Chain A
Amino acid sequence: MLFQQISFYVLAVMALGSALGVILFRNAVYSMLSLILNLLSLALFFLTLEALFVATIQVLIYAGAVMVLFLFVVTMLAPNANDDVTGRDRLRWQRSAGFGMGIILAGALIYAAFTGALASDARASGVASLAAQVTANGNTQAFGLALFHGYAFPFEVTGALLVIAVLGAVALGRRN
């Protein structure tokens, strides 16, 4: 229990700090690397919540494939673009207004997290967790059974979505 609490606080500090780094670094490449750290800390969060397979695909697909594509485009387009030079003047009040709205949004969401119906359901359901199902079948098998039994149609639509995205990227990236 103590280990769980310590790991929660360490991971929470890591996730929030790297998230602040994403929006506060002037250099887009630093923001990018900070985002990768954030995704990895979220994968560790998923591990502590017994979602082993989701944590794996988070690292492989998100922090691996998608972020490599992202980093490639960032280094290609904006290696040393900092929106400080031209950005500060026209953004002075917008920036503080944005942070104020963000604080209000965070307060509202945290209020909902402590008083909402779904959160109180989750608190009432106790600590039994997914352990029974997962130890019976294994984590990946539980994931696959749920995916292909209850969610087969959304899975197929996902395939169509990926094909459309690839076609769109090819059409946009073609030089004419």
Chain B
Amino acid sequence: MPVSAYLTVSALLFAIGAVGVVTRRNPLVMFMSIELMLNAVNLSFIAFAHFLNSVDGWMFVFLVLTVAAAEVVVGLAIIVSIFRTRRTVDVDDLNSLKG
């Protein structure tokens, strides 16, 4: 398969993730959509590593995996603490910084 096929799948996954972030109002689902976008970029990195004969793409995927894990940990901790004080997980209800 040519590299454009993999890049097309990656672009579609990225766009689906962006639509999820924009349209959903549950912060957990928004997080999942962000994970979708990160993974779409990972796919294009791996495809470029394969077609450009370089392992640099693998390194970037490794770093993206690490950053995504850290981001999930901190983000979920924030969501849990918001739920503890506000008893809701809907981003439209969370419109003030003051708890």
Contacts and interface: CB of A to CB of B under 8 A. Distances in A.
Given A45-B43, A102-B18, A22 B73 contact: no
B26 A38 contact: no
A148 to B, nearest CB: 11
Interface residues of A, number: 84
Contact of A106 (B1, B15, B73): B15
Given A58-B65, A77-B80, A22 B36 contact: yes
Interface string B44-75: 00111111111110110111011111111110
B51 A54 contact: no
B94 interface: no
Query: Mostly helix, strand, loop or mixed at chain B's interface?
Result: helix
B55 A113 contact: no
A162 B70 contact: yes
Contacts, number: 236
A19 B65 contact: no
A101 B17 CA distance: 12
B65 A49 contact: no
Interface string B1-37: 1111111111111111111101111101101110110
B70 A49 contact: no
Contact of B35 (A35, A50, A143): A35
B51 A125 contact: yes
A113 B8 contact: yes
A169 B77 contact: yes
Given A70-B72, A73-B79, A143-B55, 9 more contacts: A19-B17, A19-B36, A49-B46, A51-B50, A62-B69, A65-B69, A146-B58, A147-B59, A161-B66
